Structure formats: structure tokens, C-alpha cells
Amino acid sequence: MRALGLISGCLVIAACHQDVLVQSPDRSPTPGPQPTTPASPTPTFTPPPGWCGSDCDCAGGSRCVNVGSELTGNECQAGPNTCAKPCSSACAAGSVCQAGACVAAPCLNGACAGAPMKTFYELDIHEFAGQAAKIDTLLDVLKAALNGNGVPCMPTTVTGQLICTAANLASQNIIAPAWVGKLIDVLAGMFKFGDKPIIARGVLTLAESPDGRVTGSEKWMDMVLEYDGAVYDVMQSPTLGTNGELTVTVKAFSGTRTSNELMLGARDIEFDVNKLVINIINIVIGAASGGKASDVPGLVDLILCKHLTSTTQNAACKAAATQLGKQLALEVSLGGLKLASQRGVIYDDDRDGKADGYGRATPVSARGTVVGEMSNGLVAGSLGAFSKSNWYGAK
């Protein structure tokens, strides 16, 4: 028989076995101060001389880079400083805030005696081209050649004659190759919808006076278009021949600047707009056809006329194709671009007091704005709004 009891805070176990009484030791905490384990000391880091934690630890024109271990291998080296440390007060006119200090605004490339800026323009000219060039007539013929229907056959006009020819060939299961569909999309995008811009590249030189006035000159080196991942010159491409060479003259201009923005005023960019429009059409035709055709008459002959076995019908088709090509030529070839304004943010990436760019190449939203129109003296069309028309400059 066993009995359990609590005596003076001790647990007692009594057993009727050889009259032995067993008492367990007291396990309660010992009163008074308890022994403690010393805390480990907190490690400290002492940066070596010249160490930096970010660009904010470096002077203007230098940045913090890692050249060794994660903690001790950082040092300031020449490069663009991206520290966004604010200045304690607003900077005065003609100065900008850099890494917490007001410094002189970067000079423009001419005043810095540095290399001229390379310029890049994307220009949406569809409003002018769509009015001046009768591109719809060509598109209707191409659609009929590709689909064989959907466009009315009216033989009383040159376009109608070619559409009727396309319909007759389609009834014999003779239709244009698939690349004609791509050609239609590119021409419509450039002349009707503005999603295929003309690209111009040039060299810009600026000079400035202490009061913020700017004068400048620019030379356009080329004008190009992109087709299916390739770039084609529409100014001086060998495929255009000597009659297709386009001369561009950029007139001198003026403008103003603030501490962080360049604002160029009105100026004229003169060239033969007729040649430009025809060059664009011919270059796209050559690219789409793989060089099998180089102009509108050659294109129509390739996809329509060559399939006509009748000598009379073939001759009539080629004559209509020649007339269609002439219809696309503009009545007046003088003119060019009239830019009303051009703006871009001034960037000094390496913080050396000299401008490195006007606007950014990427993203497109960081490029500058350009406002103006293309005109031949009789017909004018505004350039597409930003961002379909844009520009930037870079060293």
C-alpha cells in the first residue's frame, strides 16, 4: 500500500517496503541572485580610408563602385553620380542641385568646346503624305491583287482598270504573293496611320550666352525607314539612283535654355518633299519584293501585268501602271519641314558640368518633344504628336 503526501514543500513517497521512507529533493529555484552569462560584444565596422556606402559619399563626377569584398571593397571612381540627396535650399538661377550641393548648370556642347551632339528624330509624317500623295489608289490596287475582291471594279479610271485586271486574274486563282500584305501594312502605317515614322539622324552644335540665349546649327546625315527589322536609307541609297538622291538643308536657328531644359525655336529644314515621298514608296517596294521591283510600275507589272498572256492586255496593263506611278508624284516638290519648337531635358550624367544629352533614348517617354509640320507650299500636314514624333541628342 502506498500513500502520497506533501510535507514542508517536499514531495514524500511512503512505501511499506522494508520500512524505508524516500524523500525527493526540493526542485524549486534557490532564492537570491541568479548567475548570468555575459553578453557577446556587438561587432563594430570601421570603414577604411576612401570607403563609400553609396554615390552620396562621393564627390560630383564620381560614383561608388565595388572593387573587392562586399563591405570593404567600395570606393569612389569617376562616373555618373546618381545621389538624390536634396539641397538644403532652392538653387539660384543658372545652377542645379547635385548630391546635395548647388552647382553651375551644365554647359551646352558648343560652349563646352566639346564634340557636337548626335541627334535622332522619329517623325510621323502621315498627315501630310496622306493628303499630298494619292496613296489610297495604290493601296486599292494592291488589295485587289491580294484578295481579288472587296474593291469595286470601275474600268473608267486608271485605278479601276488595274482593279478589274486583278479581279479577272483572281477568278483564275492568280493572286499576289503574301508579301504584298506586308507591303500594304507598311504603306498604310506610314501614309495613313502614323505608326511607321521616318527616322532622321544628324549632328547638332550649340552656343549659348550668359543670359540663356542659344544659337545653333545642325546637319542631317541621313533619313531612314525601318522595314522588317532592316534599316533603309531614303536620302542616298544606291538603289534610288542619282535621281533619287535627296539633299537636306537645315537652316540656322536660335532658342533658350534653363538650368535643366533646352528649348529650340522655329526653324526650316528644306528638302524635295516629292523625292522623299517617292523614295519611301520605292524603298518599301524594293524591300518587300526582295528586289524584284523598285517602283510602282515595276510592282504592278510583277503582280498583275506579267500574268496576262494577251499582248494587247499586257501593254494596256503596263500603261495603266505607269500612269498610276505618275499619280503618286506631288505637283510641287519644294518645301520640307517647318519646326515650331523643340524641347529636351539637359542631362549631365557624369556631373562634370558639361551636357551629355538632351532627352533620353530610352524609354521613349524620356525623349524630347518636336512640334511642326511638313509642307510643299500647297499642302501641309502637322507632325504626329508626342510620342509618335520625338527626338533626343547624345554625345
Work out the burial of residue 29: count CB atoms within 10 Å of its CB; fewer than 13 is exposed, 13-18 middle, 19 or more buried.
exposed
Q: Are 389 and 197 in contact (CB under 8 A)?
A: yes
Q: Please tell me whether residue 83 adopts helix, strand or coil conformation.
A: coil
- The residue segments making up the domain with residue 140 are 117-394
Average pLDDT over residues 103-130: 83
Average pLDDT over residues 90-100: 77
- Within a domain: residue 112? no
Query: Based on the domain organization, do 188 and 162 belong to the same domain?
Result: yes
- Within a domain: residue 175? yes
**Mean confidence (pLDDT) of the chain:** 84
Query: Based on the domain organization, do 155 and 287 belong to the same domain?
Result: yes
Query: Based on the domain organization, do 145 and 96 belong to the same domain?
Result: no
Residue 39, pLDDT score: 60
Q: pLDDT confidence of 63, banded at 50, 70, 90?
A: confident
Average pLDDT over residues 347-372: 93
Residue 91, pLDDT score: 83
Residues of the chain with pLDDT > 70: what percent? Answer: 83
Q: pLDDT confidence of 72, banded at 50, 70, 90?
A: low
Query: Based on the domain organization, do 195 and 98 belong to the same domain?
Result: no
- Within a domain: residue 121? yes
Query: Based on the domain organization, do 84 and 207 belong to the same domain?
Result: no
Distance (Å) of CA 348 to CA 105, 199, 261? 9, 25, 11
**Number of structural domains the chain divides into:** 2
153-164 per-position pLDDT tens digit: 888 899 999 999
280-318 per-position pLDDT tens digit: 999 999 999 999 999 999 999 999 999 999 999 999 999
- Within a domain: residue 41? no
More confident of the two residues 16 and 256 = 256
More confident of the two residues 374 and 275 = 374
Q: How far apart are CA 384 and CA 382, in angstroms?
A: 6
- Within a domain: residue 388? yes
- Within a domain: residue 24? no
- Within a domain: residue 212? yes
Q: Are 131 and 191 in contact (CB under 8 A)?
A: no
